């Protein structure tokens, strides 16, 4: 347990060092970008003051430690494009992203698991073959293109869903109802879940096929149990938790997918924030979101590891 | 007619698909810049015989742009996956035959790269390199080696416990000799299959990151840029500029995936005789 914690902390520390190094190595001058963002002319003297205030001319190591010190106090700096504390922006956007990712995650899990069960039960029949083809094709489709196609079909042609944003245009933030938010969430969440269910479905299928070929299932069949009872008694018990573990371990792909989906649907979450930060050279925001995404993935992996121990007695004994 | 067995059929199919792939690449690479020059006279035209994919808002032929973009994407994808597969082999062998400390460090490194979502990492690296082709290439190369490295590490660990390796060692052969004569020949199929299956992923990532606006400059005919432009005209009813280039990309990726699968079947001794 302690070892796992040390590992996570060391990984997060390394992520902070590497992302800081990468950002400092960038030839794009953040000060110039900041000044461009101000929209007013800046005299050389003022520019020097800004540089001084930001500490641009200090050595990178010193800058890193002052950044890390502030980070440990909970201060992530101020975003250059939004002119607000990065922590605040991440908190606000993470709620949006979390809603999106959670919906997609649950949807992908449920669809993937049930399709996986269907494929496993009807191994090598037409249903299995068609679904397997669909899964393989979907894993070759880029998320953003699928999002574009959904936008085209459902928003532009059928006009069922809005083109983007998490709330209607021209309505104040406070006036947005829960229903409206949900309505704007459906399309991106659906896109994201379609991108990630293939993996879980194929995994579940394989597991179920293995279980159905085992000797205890042969024995159960000899006792006269029907297909349904076999699935409920022997199948689900063996495949549910591995599938759940896999779902938790897929947080990295989920986050990566949400970056794409949010940008296509102009959904104001972390994903669109990181793209905007990268394009507009908003260094504090870029660093903040990177660290946060690493933390997010770490949490997922940790849950997956813990679940693994709970489910698999062999792993549990090794740990103990 | 002479009966063709399964293996020969797969070999023929693989060769045909590879020829198709190379043809698409060559076609895209040979298209002169003149062909993608725009003229405002035929801007935003839907697909016709003259322009099978239609034209974009600047009057550029979309089929030509798509093919040219695919060639650019394939070049980047190929370079990035070659670098990535090279890293994977080095790291995988290093982890498997080095001391336990080396193994620990490499596993930690893999966890580190897998711990940050790839899209975010590529954005970060692209930012560090000042955007453009180089950043894209390095970003994609730096993020795709992990799973292949794990695979190769497992493979080498398994090979090392084989009896013939133990005998070889007892006969006084050096570690380097065993590596070259016993381990590497086994890894060659793994390497090629891994490389080819990595290739479509690299292209998809390239397209995604270009779509976000990192990577290639807007004048280049990259597939991600065509699609990100098409998004702006989506609500005006220019469906063809989003559907057709994307569909071509998906078909190309499926083609490459299939070649990889077939190659695996041919090279893998367990399925080679089916």
pLDDT digits (tens, 9 = 90+) for A122-150: 888 888 888 888 888 888 888 888 888 88
Is the pLDDT assigned to residue A179 strictly greater than 60? yes
A149 contacts in B (CB within 8 Å)?
A: 242-243, 246
Q: Is the distance from CB of A178 to CB of A92 less than 8 angstroms?
A: no
Output the pLDDT for position B83.
Answer: 92
- Nearest by CB to B234, from A156, A271, A286: name it: A156
pLDDT in tens, A92-132: 888 888 888 999 999 999 999 998 888 888 888 888 888 88
Q: Which of A19, A145, A301 sits opposite B124 (nearest CB)?
A: A19
- What span, in angstroms and rounded, lies between the C-alpha atoms of B244 and B211? 16
Nearest CA in chain B to A263: B212
Closest-approach residue (CA) in chain A for B204: A142
> Shortest CA distance to A286 belongs to which of A261, A259, A266, A262?
A259
B101's CB contacts (< 8 A; 6+ apart) are none
Q: How far apart are CA B135 and CA B127, in angstroms?
A: 7
Q: pTM score > 0.80 for this model?
A: yes
pLDDT of residue A188: 85
Partner-chain residue, chosen from A156, A259, A286, that has the shortest CB–CB distance to B235:
A156
Asked if pLDDT for residue A77 goes beyond 80, the answer is: no
Environment class of residue B221 by beta-carbon count within 10 Å: exposed (0-12), middle (13-18) or buried (19+)? buried
Q: How far apart are CA B233 and CA B244, in angstroms?
A: 14
DSSP alpha helices (H): ranges in chain B? 6-30, 62-97, 100-115, 118-128, 132-143, 146-160, 163-170, 175-178, 184-212, 223-232, 240-267
Cβ–Cβ below 8 Å for A144 and B227: yes
Of A19, A140, A149, the CB nearest to B200: A140
Contact criterion met (CB below 8 Å) for B77 and B206:
yes
For residue B61, what are its two tokens?
């032929």
How many A×B Cβ pairs under 8 Å? 139
Whole-angstrom CA distances from A208 to A232, A308, B70 are 11, 18, 39
Would you call B207 an interface residue with chain A, using a CB distance cutoff of 8 Å? yes
Reported confidence tier of residue A5, pLDDT bands at 50, 70, 90: confident
Mean pLDDT of chain A: 80
Q: Answer whether B115 sits within 8 Å of A260, measured CB to CB.
A: no
What is the predicted pLDDT for the residue at B175? 79
State residue B241's pLDDT score: 77
Residues of chain B positioned with their CB less than 8 A from the CB of A271 = 119
ipTM over 0.90: no
| Phi, psi torsion values for B55, nearest 5 degrees | -125, 160
**Closest of A33, A239, A222 to residue A119, by C-alpha:** A239
∠ CA B57-B60-B61, rounded to 5°: 120
Q: Name every chain B residue with its beta carbon within 8 A of the beta carbon of A289.
A: 120
Q: What is the pLDDT of residues B154-192, one digit of tens each?
A: 888 888 888 888 888 888 888 788 888 888 888 888 888
Q: Locate the chain A residue with the closest alpha carbon to B207.
A: A142
Q: B256: nearest CA in chain A? A: A140
Q: Which two tokens stand for residue A147?
A: 């999002």
Q: Touching check for B119 and chain A: CB below 8 Å?
A: yes
- Give the three-state DSSP class for A85: strand
Query: Mean pLDDT across the stretch A255-282?
Result: 85
**Cβ(A250)–Cβ(A304) under 8 Å?**
no
Token code pair at residue A192: 């994201």
Per-residue pLDDT of chain B (274 residues; tens, 9 = 90+): 566 777 788 888 888 888 888 888 888 777 777 666 666 666 667 777 667 777 776 667 778 788 888 888 888 888 999 999 989 988 888 887 777 888 888 888 888 888 888 888 888 888 888 777 888 888 888 888 888 888 888 888 888 888 888 888 888 888 788 888 888 888 888 888 888 888 888 888 888 888 888 877 777 777 888 888 777 777 676 777 778 888 888 888 888 888 888 888 887 766 656 5
User: Does the distance separating the beta carbons of A294 and B115 come in below 8 Å?
Assistant: yes
Q: Closest to B123 (Cβ–Cβ): which among A7, A145, A274? A: A274
Could you give the 3-state DSSP secondary structure of residue A223? coil
Q: Say which residues have a Cβ less than 8 Å from residue A165's Cβ, sequence separation at least 6.
A: A184, A265, A266, A267, A268
């Amino acid at each position: 347990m302690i070892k796992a914690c040390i590992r996570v902390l060391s990984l997060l520390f390394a992520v902070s060092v590497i992302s800081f190094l990468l950002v400092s190595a960038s030839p794009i001058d953040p000060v110039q970008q900041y000044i461009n963002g101000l929209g007013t002319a800046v005299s050389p003297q003022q520019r020097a003051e800004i540089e001084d205030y930001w500490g641009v001319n200090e050595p990178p190591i010193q800058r890193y430690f002052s950044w890390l010190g502030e980070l440990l106090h909970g201060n992530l700096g101020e975003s250059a494009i939004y002119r607000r504390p990065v922590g605040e922006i991440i908190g606000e956007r993470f709620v949006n992203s979390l809603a999106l990712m959670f919906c997609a995650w649950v949807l992908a899990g449920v669809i993937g698991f049930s399709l996986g069960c269907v494929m496993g039960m009807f191994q090598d029949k037409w249903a299995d073959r068609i679904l397997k083809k669909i899964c393989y094709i979907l894993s070759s489709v880029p998320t953003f293109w699928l999002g574009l196609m959904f936008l085209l079909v459902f928003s532009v042609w059928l006009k069922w869903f809005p083109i983007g944003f998490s709330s209607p245009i021209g309505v104040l933030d406070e006036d947005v109802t829960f229903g409206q938010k949900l309505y704007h969430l459906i399309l991106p969440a659906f896109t994201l879940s379609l991108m990630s269910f293939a993996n879980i479905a194929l995994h579940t299928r394989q597991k179920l096929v293995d279980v159905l070929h085992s000797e205890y299932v042969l024995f159960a069949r000899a006792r006269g149990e029907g297909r349904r009872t076999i699935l409920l008694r022997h199948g689900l018990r063996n495949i549910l938790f591995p599938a759940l573990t896999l779902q938790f371990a897929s947080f990295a792909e989920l986050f990566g997918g949400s970056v794409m989906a949010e940008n296509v649907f102009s959904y104001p979450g972390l994903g669109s924030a990181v793209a905007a930060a990268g394009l507009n050279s908003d260094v504090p925001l870029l660093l903040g979101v990177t660290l946060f995404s690493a933390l997010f993935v770490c949490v997922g992996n940790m849950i997956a590891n813990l679940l693994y121990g709970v489910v698999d007695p062999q792993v549990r004994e090794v740990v103990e | 007619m002479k009966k063709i067995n399964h293996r020969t059929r797969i070999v023929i199919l693989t060769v045909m698909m590879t020829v198709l792939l190379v043809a698409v690449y060559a076609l895209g690479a040979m298209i002169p810049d003149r062909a993608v020059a725009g003229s405002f006279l035929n801007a935003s035209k839907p697909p016709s015989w003259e322009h099978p994919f239609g034209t974009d808002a600047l009057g550029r032929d979309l089929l030509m742009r798509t093919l040219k973009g695919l060639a650019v994407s394939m070049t980047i994808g190929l370079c990035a996956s070659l670098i990535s597969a090279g890293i994977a082999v080095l790291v995988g062998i290093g982890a498997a035959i080095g001391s336990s400390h080396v193994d620990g460090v490499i596993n930690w490194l893999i966890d580190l790269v897998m711990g940050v979502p790839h899209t975010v990492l590529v954005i970060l690296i692209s930012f560090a390199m000042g955007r453009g082709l180089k950043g894209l290439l390095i970003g994609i190369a730096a993020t795709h080696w992990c799973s292949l490295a794990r695979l190769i590490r497992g493979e080498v660990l398994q090979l090392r416990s084989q009896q013939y390796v133990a005998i070889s060692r007892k006969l006084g052969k050096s570690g380097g000799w065993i590596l070259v004569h016993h381990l590497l020949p086994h890894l060659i199929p793994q390497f090629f299959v891994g490389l080819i299956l990595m290739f479509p992923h690299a292209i998809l990532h390239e397209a995604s990151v270009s779509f976000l606006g990192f990577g290639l400059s807007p004048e280049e005919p990259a597939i991600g840029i065509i699609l990100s432009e098409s998004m702006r005209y989506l609500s005006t009813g220019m469906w063809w500029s989003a559907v057709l280039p994307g569909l071509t990309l998906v078909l190309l990726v499926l083609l490459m995936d299939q070649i990889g699968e077939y190659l695996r079947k041919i090279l893998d001794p367990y399925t080679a005789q089916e």
